[in-house]
Amino acid sequence: MMDMQKKIDDISLLGGHPALDFVNTVDSRGGRWGPDFLNSYDDLVAWACRLDVIDDKERDVLLVTANSSGPDAEKELGQAKDLREALYRLFLSEFGESQIGPNDLELVADMARRGLSQQTLGQVGGTIEWRRSEAKGLDAISNRIAVLAAQLLTSRAERRPVRACQGRNCGWLFLDQSRGGHRRWCSDKTCGSNARVRKFRLRSS
Ligand SMILES: [Zn+2]
């Protein structure tokens, strides 16, 4: 839904997975493109904290680092957006069952490898699992998103499909967890109800 006043903290989280919510930080991918809610590295940090990609302590560290290295933060924001657009194309290929771009896969793999190299094995309760070591570098957010995205991309056989919203001027991606598996809208309240209103107007005109 078009709303110029909306900020990164206000955007709806409808993707059902952080990698898809990351793709959905562009308001519309339909007839028009944008607006883009990632307008600064600080926006990326705020988003990552909201989605638990980083914790509060890491947020503070990254904000200090970013503010003392302006051009680097700007560059890293660009890298994050490259990842975002690659993920959009990859998941759209899954949705449309079309050919996947090798460059997009390579970009995700490179970042995911860096993300994995920042993890350690640790014991939590009775189980052993991968744990993130403290995020310090500005690229930590992109790398963590890439790890999550790679897990989602490679788990197609065990999960519901990724779909693109059919709403006019939307195109948001989401994991279809609906009972019937035929969800068409990112949200029934926005895109779904807009479509119903349009259909009604068409019928009664
Ligand atoms: Zn939608």
Which domain CATH number covers 109? 1.10.3300.10
Q: pLDDT for 179-204, tens place per residue?
A: 998 999 999 888 988 877 777 777 77
Task: Say which residue, 197 or 141, is predicted with more confidence.
Answer: 141
The reported pLDDT for the residue numbered 97 is 87
CA distance 15 to 96: 17
37 vs 103: CA distance, rounded Å: 25
From ligand 1's centre to the CA of 163, what distance in Å? 11
Name the residue among 57, 56, 50, 2 with its Cα closest to residue 22: 50
- Measured distance CA(184)–CA(162) in Å, rounded: 11
- pLDDT for position 47: 98
**Is residue 65 assigned to a domain?**
yes
Distance 95 CA to ligand 1 centre (A): 15
Residue 191 lies in a domain: no
**Residue 124 confidence (pLDDT):** 86
Residue 125 lies in a domain: yes
Q: Which of 145, 152, 195, 144 is nearest to 175 (CA)?
A: 152
pTM for the whole thing?
0.91
Q: What is the number of domains present in the chain?
A: 1
Q: Which H or E run includes 53?
A: none
Question: What amino acid occupies position 120?
Answer: T
pLDDT at 155 exceeding the cut of 60:
yes
Q: State the maximum Cα–Cα separation within the chain, in Å, rounded to a whole number.
A: 64
47 within 8 A of 20, measured Cβ to Cβ = no
Residue 118 is assigned to a structural domain of this protein: yes
Query: How far apart are the CA of 185 and the centre of ligand 1, in A?
Result: 5
What is the CB neighbour count within 10 angstroms for residue 134? 11
Using the mean position of ligand 1's atoms as its centre, give its distance from the Cα of residue 83 in Å.
21
pLDDT of residue 70: 82
Question: For 67-117, how does the pLDDT look when each residue is reduced to its tens digit (9 = 90+)?
Answer: 998 899 999 999 999 999 999 999 999 988 899 999 999 999 999 999 999
Whether residue 44 is contained in a domain is answered as yes
Domain membership flag for residue 169: no
- Tell me whether residue 99 is in a domain: yes
Q: What is the mean pLDDT of the chain?
A: 92
Q: Is residue 38, in this structure, part of any structural domain at all?
A: yes
- Measured CA to CA, the distance from residue 90 to residue 134 in angstroms comes to 29
Q: Which domain holds residue 53?
A: 15-160
Average pLDDT value for residue range 126-155: 95
> 34: CA distance to ligand 1 center in Å?
13
* 130 pLDDT higher than 60: yes
184 CA from centroid of ligand 1 (Å)? 8
